[in-house]
Amino acid sequence: MSVLYPRVALIGLGLIAGSMALAMRRAGLAGEIVGTARSAETRATAREIGLVDRVVDTAAEAVADADLVVLAVPVGVMGDIAQEIGPHLKPGATVTDVGSVKGAVIAAVAPHIPEGVHFIPGHPLAGTEHSGPRAGFADLFQNRWCLLVPVPDSDPQAIARLRALWEGIGANVEEMDPDHHDLVLAVTSHAPHLIAYTMVGVADDLRRVTDSEVIKYSAAGFRDFTRIAASDPTMWRDVFLTNKEATLEILGRFTEELFALQRAIRTGDGQMLHDYFTRTRAIRRGIIEAGQDTDAPDFGRSKAH
């Protein structure tokens, strides 16, 4: 493939930015990749492992003369970063982000983007429970979705180029409006993460069942929750604080439904439980048929078949 952006600036050098750097380099889509991170330790690690072509100390320095600027920091600090880089952005450049929430990010970032710079919010639905500059890998976005959430005056050509970049590193791209994005993600990601964090916290608290037993016997189902609940605490704090309304709405629905199932258990309504569990099984089949997960038993963890 040919170079889409002569210079790319990555602000933040965690799992997502690191994976983008490795994937863009492998695909030859960026001329030079410049990166920065707030923490000196992260910058040192990125230099040590050669994650990007050049590591600089400030975001302002990183965006100088950049054709594409990627904000890959926790959602809660996007606004501060935008304020810092605003005056240094090159006319005609594109600014995008990879945050898990879109409404709040647009509200925080858009006011700092100068005339003549294209702001095209984005969100790759990809990640693992690992974080930091060593966590990235070039295949992270293969067959995953990247949602672009253009603002009303986003330039069509700038959108097309950003789409080509994501497709060039393996993602499938869709466009969506911010409110719908934040609701869909509340269902498919934010509420499930909070629920997993909660269940793991409950297990940790239980005194009669010791920690070591919870860990020892975790393969019975609980361990799947612990993977999700091992995700980056700062990133997730910010997601919940900035997608408050949609997350609380889905959690309200969840609680209502949980109470109905608890009542069925209490009253011994086996038919209701059986019907419910049969219905949820069908969704799993849909996900496998859509190529969004493996059909291998237990995610292929067991060396089965």
- Which residues 205-234 are close enough to bind a copy of itself by CB under 8 A? 205-206, 208-209, 211, 213-231, 233-234
Site for a copy of itself in 160-199 (CB under 8 A): 183-185, 187-199
Q: Backbone phi, then psi, for 6, in 5-degree steps?
A: -60, -40
Site for a copy of itself in 112-131 (CB under 8 A): 125-130
- Please report whether residue 49 would count as binding a copy of itself according to CB under 8 A: no
Q: Which of 1, 49, 107, 287 binds a copy of itself (CB under 8 A)?
A: 287
Cα separations in angstroms, 160 against 147, 170, 249, 268: 13, 15, 34, 56
Q: Kindly tell me which of 48 and 293 has the beta carbon lying closer to a copy of itself.
A: 293
User: Which residues partner with 8 through β-bridges?
Assistant: 33, 68
Give me the least distance between CB of 265 and a copy of itself, in Å please: 5
Chain CA centroid to CA 140, Å? 11
Q: Kindly tell me which of 76 and 133 has the beta carbon lying closer to a copy of itself.
A: 76
Please say whether the beta carbons of 120 and 96 come within 8 A: yes
Binding letters toward a copy of itself, positions 7-46, x by CB under 8 A: ----------------------------------------
Give me the least distance between CB of 285 and a copy of itself, in Å please: 8
- Please report whether residue 48 would count as binding a copy of itself according to CB under 8 A: no
Q: Residues in contact with a copy of itself, total (CB under 8 A)?
A: 110
Cα separations in angstroms, 70 against 9, 186, 258, 286: 6, 23, 40, 33
Q: What is the radius of gyration, based on Cα positions, of the chain?
A: 21
Give me the least distance between CB of 38 and a copy of itself, in Å please: 16
d(CA 96, CA 40): 24
Q: Give the range of 1-9, 49-57, 82-90, 268-276 binding a copy of itself by CB under 8 A.
A: 268-276
d(CA 35, CA 62): 6
Give me the least distance between CB of 10 and a copy of itself, in Å please: 19
Please say whether the beta carbons of 247 and 240 come within 8 A: yes
Q: Kindly tell me which of 161 and 223 has the beta carbon lying closer to a copy of itself.
A: 223
Q: What SS3 class is residue 103?
A: helix
Q: Are strands 122-124 and 145-148 parallel, antiparallel or unpaired?
A: antiparallel
Q: Which of 145, 151, 161, 175 binds a copy of itself (CB under 8 A)?
A: 145
Nearest 10 degrees: Cα torsion 205, 208, 213, 219: -70
User: Which residues partner with 9 through β-bridges?
Assistant: 34, 69
- Please report whether residue 200 would count as binding a copy of itself according to CB under 8 A: yes
Give me the least distance between CB of 160 and a copy of itself, in Å please: 22
DSSP state of 92: T
- Please report whether residue 286 would count as binding a copy of itself according to CB under 8 A: yes
Token duo for residue 244: 């408050």
Q: Which of 82, 95, 140, 148 binds a copy of itself (CB under 8 A)?
A: 140
- Please report whether residue 298 would count as binding a copy of itself according to CB under 8 A: yes
